[in-house]
Amino acid sequence: MRSTYQTARRSFWIGLTSLALASLPLASGAFAQANFSVYASGLEGPRGLKFGPDGALYVAEAGRGGPTSSATLDCEQVPGPVGPYHGGLSARISKITGPGQVTTVVDGLPSAMSSLPTGDTLGAADVSFVGNTLYALVAGGGCSHGNPDTPNGIIKVDVALHTWSYVADLSAFEMANPPVNPTPELVDWEPDGSWYGLVAVRGDLYATEPNHQQIDRISPDTGKVSLVADISGSSSLWVGPTAITYHGDFFFGNLAPFPISLGDANVFKLTPSGNFKVWETSFTTVVGVVFDQHDNLYVLELSAAPGFPSLAAGKIVRLSPSGQTEDILTGLSVPTAITIGPDGALYVSNFGAAPPGLGQILRVEP
């Protein structure tokens, strides 16, 4: 069987499974430079995170999969050794109101764990607000993930009532709109996609999907989904768009093919009409991008080491408006997302691709 790591293009999560996750420590180590503190711990695969209008931090958690094997369902499967997935309703969205003050906003969201020895979980991928309304991006749904009744999509969350409902079915949209340069023959092909980043701009939601290499626009009012950019046709190599932010234009980062080669990932600039170009180069495994009020761009790197993701190899890089780069914090372990708070501090999902219960949110003073 051809190894997952021999493919030129791959979904984001495949590479993370090369880690010896079972031996991860409960706290982060080997940090340098910026002051930081553990803002919350004990999370189950923390992924995207945003501050709400109430000042609280909302975090998407991937969960722990479930008992239903996708192999028992009549649908296209994720090839082995990644598939079959084992699905269930264990993903959730949490709310953090202060250090260590974590409550569940909604749970019972679709989650899926792969068949790889170390596990590999997809669930709630990111969150975003349109006005006072919370929306979330679901990545662990769909038949190929063992969740046939709960597809990947955008959900609307009632924070007060702790309920949620679907706005858009992204599994169906992606299957009806395949990429220009599809790769279903690869061992990491995800029929339902492996959705990653979500941002709200002018009342619409924009989501990234690295496996099929698409960026889509979703209307939360009508549920209409439309393709903004098909990244698959831009390169003969897998690009893998991950995190996305808005700062006058859209900016998104990419993972680039594994094994990791230092400096192979970029930050791209994207217009709402779908035109995109490389904006800054020489990054490695970009999984988070965010601007501060002084136009500094903070780039979160999954693992700034060659080969496959390594413990304590993640970092935050600051890019100034003049183009100077500086490492702000090193020693992160499989970080997955970054946002900036109303206090000007950075908040990072650390141990975001680790076994359930090890996830942390770090508060970083740059």
Q: Where are the domains of the chain?
A: 4-17+32-365
Supply the pLDDT for residue 260. 86
* Pairing assessment for the beta strands 225-230 and 214-218 based on DSSP bridges: antiparallel
Residue carrying structure tokens 């600039």: 269
Ranges of residues in the chain whose predicted pLDDT is under 70 = 1-32, 118-119, 183-187
How far apart CA 224 and CA 241 sit, in angstroms, is: 21
* Pairing assessment for the beta strands 86-98 and 68-69 based on DSSP bridges: antiparallel
Element containing residue 170 per DSSP (H, E): helix 170-176
How far apart CA 271 and CA 164 sit, in angstroms, is: 31
What are the phi and psi torsion angles at 188 (to 5°)?
-110, 20
What is the pTM for the complete model shown? 0.92
Supply the pLDDT for residue 237. 78
How far apart CA 19 and CA 14 sit, in angstroms, is: 10
Concatenate the DSSP letters of all residues of 192-255 into one string. T-----EEEETTEEEEEETTTTEEEEE-TTT--EEEEEEGGGG-SS---EEEEEESSSEEEEE-
Tens digit of pLDDT for each residue in 119-149? 689 999 999 999 999 999 999 999 999 999 9
* Pairing assessment for the beta strands 325-332 and 337-340 based on DSSP bridges: unpaired
Checking phi first, is residue 31 left (phi over 0); if not, alpha (psi -120 to 50) or beta?
Answer: beta
Supply the pLDDT for residue 15. 41
Note whether 269 and 251 are within 8 A (CB).
Answer: yes
SS3 of residue 18 by DSSP: helix
CATH topology of domain 4-17+32-365: Neuraminidase (2.120.10)
Supply the pLDDT for residue 265. 95
Note whether 255 and 300 are within 8 A (CB).
Answer: no
Those residues whose C-beta lies under 8 Å from the C-beta of residue 109, and which sit 6 or more positions away, are 63, 89, 90, 91, 92, 93, 123, 124, 136, 138, 140, 150, 155, 164
How far apart CA 206 and CA 120 sit, in angstroms, is: 25
How far apart CA 264 and CA 203 sit, in angstroms, is: 33
Closest CA to 20 of 121, 117, 123, 122: 117
Supply the pLDDT for residue 32. 63
